[in-house]
Amino acid sequence: AAADGLGSIAIDTTQLNMSVTDPTAWATAMNNLGMVPVGLAGQQLVTDSICVPGFDPSLSMMTGITPINPMIPGMGLVPPPPPTDVPVVKEIIHCKSCTLFPPNPNLPPPSTRERPPGCKTVFVGGLPENATEEIIQEVFEQCGDITAIRKSKKNFCHIRFAEEFMVDKAIYLSGYRMRLGSSTDKKDSGRLHVDFAQARDDFYEWECKQRMLAREERHRRKMEEDRLRPPSPPAIMHYSEHEAALLAEKLKDDSKFSEAITVLLTWIERGEVNRRSANQFYSMVQSANSHVRRLMNEKAAHEQEMEQAKESFKNALTGILTQFEQIVAVFNASTRQKAWDHFSKAQRKNIDIWRKHSEELRNAHSEQLMGIRREEEMEMSDDDSGDNPSKKLRVDDSALAAQAYALKEENDSLRWQLDAYRNEVELLKQEKGQLFRTEESLTKDQQLQFLQQTMQGMQQQLLSIQEELNNKKSELEQAKEEQTHTQAMLKVLQEQLKSAKELAEINGHDESQANEINVLTVALVNQDREKNSEKRSPGLKSEKEALLIGIISTFLHVHPFGANIEYLWSYMQQLDSRISANEIEMLLMRLPRMFKQEFTGVGATLEKRWKFCAFEGIKTV
């Protein structure tokens, strides 16, 4: 079988006029057609299995091929093209009146134009001059049913098939050399060129088919939309006294209230209210108003549940934050000199990454918890300014509550009547044009008062911001002066230390004397700091600083040998999570008569400790 788009073709060697396996016969046939024979002597050019039998016009198909129905599911109108990696081998085709010789397989395939949509017509050029319409039909009716053949006098014709897939079979014959009988005359031979042709009838049929498919698609979509469309709401009955009485009973029932209120709204919008039915509608509106208290009670219950959920969430968040604080404390303890030196480089890197990640999470949870606390403070301030109306509307089940409820009902009905009379009076006033002017003047006065209040608030905010800015500038200047002074003192002390060490080496002092020199230098630095801080340090700024000083003094008094700033900061973090170690150190440096800083150890074991010295300061004074 040959992979040529025409399907599998059976072989009938009895219909061959010459032996295809004979190289001499093949070369003679090529010379008769004016073609150079391809292949070597003694080489089999075409196998017997590739040869094509003769055509039988009564079958409308080649022998061995069953008719193909293009509408069979799973089959396309156009057969799949042959694979590109396998070369297509074309064979000699024998008909009753002519013979078709294949083109040279080494030549490129013949070119074709772009296929028009719904193409069923092909152009056939290069026909022999003596070719008749019957011979053309004999050759091309093997590709499928032919509906029309339009032959021209200039050796070409147009053939229209019944189906689109038949065009692809006709295109396969492009490039074949056609010879009528056994004649060698030029008028009896020609090279076929088959190409797609654009016909109005094909395009019209294709458009009709596309419109039919579009109609089917629209119908399918409409059926799908109708299936997925939600059902229409139920019809609302017309107003009558009987239906109004039933509706009044439904309005008193909590389970049927939502259905009944829609009916009442529809009746009012339809204009069913008149003088005769006004009292009945008023009673129904009053029943609808009575449900406001029920809704407010439900709202209060839901608000209470929400508060409980907020409280449980805040407690859980506080527990999580304390655990984060403990984890961060563990990482900080691991990064100290005593434990840090024993870890490897990779372990230090991992611990540092974990510490930073834990600090970020700790800060985020702390900000979230502070935001919840600020919201609670704002809600408490709102509650202080005005009582919650939901608390006022709670109804008890006792007899006193029932009496009060009945009195409130009567009061509400009288109030509604009073509001109706007031509305009538206001309508009369609006007709005269008096009320409009008074309301306009009142709104203008209110707007002016509101603008004045906002201006005053903005001025106060600007003044407070300016004061804070000035304070920050003064603190920054003081910090810069202290920094320059400490740098100068450090340089002087370094020179003194060098000279003292040289003297100690000359005199042969031991390490204990060198430590005493370090302690003396640190004492000198502390004395200079005390003097400078006495000159520059202002008093306490707020009650919070006084409270921090008291707590730090108690903590350091319990630790007579002093404590480093990290230990002190970890203790203060348990009381106030927002405080930082830098704030504590700045506060200690501002009070040199109460706290002093000492250095213990030598080299890698050097550590700074703060001690409480207020009692010593009182004795010296």
User: Predicted confidence band at 170 (pLDDT cuts at 50, 70, 90)?
Assistant: very high
Q: How confident is the prediction for the chain on average, in pLDDT? A: 77
Measure CA 390 to chain center: 40
Coil, helix or strand for 9? coil
Lowest-confidence region among 236-240, 309-313, 416-420, 549-553: 416-420
Residues 275 and 176 in one domain: no
- Predicted confidence (pLDDT) at residue 542 exceeds the cutoff of 90: no
| Residue 97, helix vs strand vs coil | coil
* CA 492 to each of CA 309, 487, 497, 498: distance values in angstroms, whole numbers, following the listed order: 63, 9, 9, 10
Residues 102 and 120 reside in one and the same domain: yes
Predicted confidence (pLDDT) at residue 60 exceeds the cutoff of 60: no
Q: H or E segment at 426?
A: helix 399-432
The pLDDT, as a whole number, for residue 213 is: 95
Q: Which residue has the higher pLDDT, 70 or 533?
A: 533
Give burial (CB, 10 Å; 0-12/13-18/19+) of 587: middle
Would you state the pLDDT for residue 10?
34
Q: Is residue 47 pLDDT above 50, yes or no?
A: no
Instruction: State the total domains in the chain.
Output: 4
**What is the pLDDT averaged over residues 46-58?**
39
Is 17 a domain residue? no
Question: Cα dist. 89→93, 464, 552, 579 in Å?
Answer: 13, 97, 101, 89
**Do 187 and 157 fall into the same domain?**
yes
Do 147 and 111 belong together in one domain?
yes
pLDDT surpassing 70 at residue 78: no
Query: Per the domain annotation, does 99 fall within a domain?
Result: yes
Question: Tens digits of per-residue pLDDT, 107-138?
Answer: 888 889 999 999 999 999 999 988 889 999 99
Can you list the pairs that 183-188 forms with residues at least 24 positions away whose Cβ atoms lie under 8 Å? 184/32, 184/33, 185/130, 187/128, 187/129, 187/130, 188/128, 188/129, 188/130
Do 99 and 212 fall within a single domain? yes
Domain of residue 189 covers 91-225
| pLDDT tens digits for range 339-379 | 888 888 888 888 889 988 888 988 888 888 888 888 878 77
Using the 3D structure, point to which of 199, 225, 251 is the last residue of a domain. Answer: 225
**pLDDT for position 538:** 52
Domain check: are 130 and 162 in the same one? yes
CA distances from 308 to 311, 312, 322, 558 (A): 5, 6, 21, 41
pLDDT in tens, 291-341: 888 888 889 999 899 889 988 988 888 888 889 889 988 888 888 877 888
Task: Supply the CATH number for residue 138's domain.
Answer: 3.30.70.330
Q: Residue 621's pLDDT is what?
A: 52
Choice among 62-66, 181-185, 360-364 with the minimum mean pLDDT: 62-66
| % pLDDT > 90, the chain | 14
Q: Between these two residues, 540 and 46, which has the higher pLDDT value? A: 540
Are 63 and 56 contacting, i.e. CB atoms less than 8 angstroms apart? yes
Residue 45 scores a pLDDT above 60: no
- Structure tokens given for 12: 């009938």
Residue 546 predicted with pLDDT over 80: yes
More confident residue, 251 or 220: 220
Residues 193 and 282 in one domain: no
For residue 516, the model assigns a pLDDT of 55
Confidence of residue 87 (pLDDT cuts 50, 70, 90): low
> What is the reported pLDDT for 33?
47
Q: Are 390 and 303 in contact (CB under 8 A)?
A: yes
Q: Please compute the mean of the pLDDT values over residues 7-27 and round it to a whole number.
A: 41
The answer to whether residue 144 scores a pLDDT higher than 60 is yes
246 and 220 part of one domain: no
pTM: 0.30
Res 43 pLDDT > 50: no
Task: Output the pLDDT for position 339.
Answer: 82
Measured distance between the N- and C-terminal CA atoms of the chain, rounded to whole angstroms: 121
Last residue of a domain, one of 326, 352, 376: 376
Is 391:300 a contact under the CB 8 Å cutoff? yes
Q: Are residues 339 and 323 in the same domain?
A: yes
426 is a domain residue: no
Helix axes 241-252, 278-334, angle to 10 degrees: 30
Helix (H) or strand (E) holding 600: strand 595-600
- Listed range (139-143, 175-179, 504-508, 570-574) with the worst mean pLDDT: 504-508
- 175 burial level (CB within 10 Å; 0-12, 13-18, 19+): buried
Q: What pLDDT score was predicted for residue 515?
A: 55
Q: Is residue 1 part of a domain?
A: no
Same domain, 293 and 354: no
Residue with tokens 């007899």, as numbered in its chain = 399
Beta strands in 225-295 (DSSP E): none
Asked, for residue 139, whether it belongs to a domain, the answer is: yes
Helices and strands in the chain, H and E counts: 17, 10
> pLDDT tens-digit profile of 555-566?
888 888 888 888
Mean pLDDT lowest for which of 399-403, 449-453, 606-610? 399-403
Task: Give the pLDDT confidence score for residue 532 in this predicted structure.
Answer: 54
| Residue 432 maps to a domain | no
Q: What is the CATH number of the domain that holds 601?
A: 1.10.10.10
pLDDT at residue 517 greater than cutoff 70: no
Task: To the nearest 10°, report the CA torsion of 499, 501, 505, 508.
Answer: 120
Do 199 and 323 fall within a single domain? no
* 470 vs 36: CA distance, rounded Å: 106
Q: What is the pLDDT of residues 426-453, one digit of tens each?
A: 777 777 765 556 567 778 888 888 888 8
pLDDT over threshold 90, residue 157 = yes
304 and 323 inside one domain = no
Domain boundary among 164, 191, 225: 225
Say what the pLDDT of residue 195 is: 94
DSSP per-residue string spanning 187-228: GGEEE-EEEE---HHHHHHHHHHHHHHHHHHHHHHHHHHHHH
Which residue from 251, 244, 248 is spatially nearest to 276, judged by alpha carbons?
244
Determine, yes or no, domain membership for 433.
Answer: no
Q: Which residue has the tokens 């350091």?
A: 556
Q: What integer pLDDT is reported at residue 619 of this predicted model?
A: 61
pLDDT at 620: 58
- Residue 614's pLDDT is 83
Which pLDDT does position 68 carry in this prediction? Answer: 43
Mean per-residue pLDDT, 393-400 = 52
Assess if residue 443 is contained within a domain. Answer: no
Using only C-alpha atoms, the chain has a radius of gyration, in whole angstroms, of 53
Q: Is residue 570 a contact partner of residue 327, using CB atoms and an 8 Å limit?
A: no
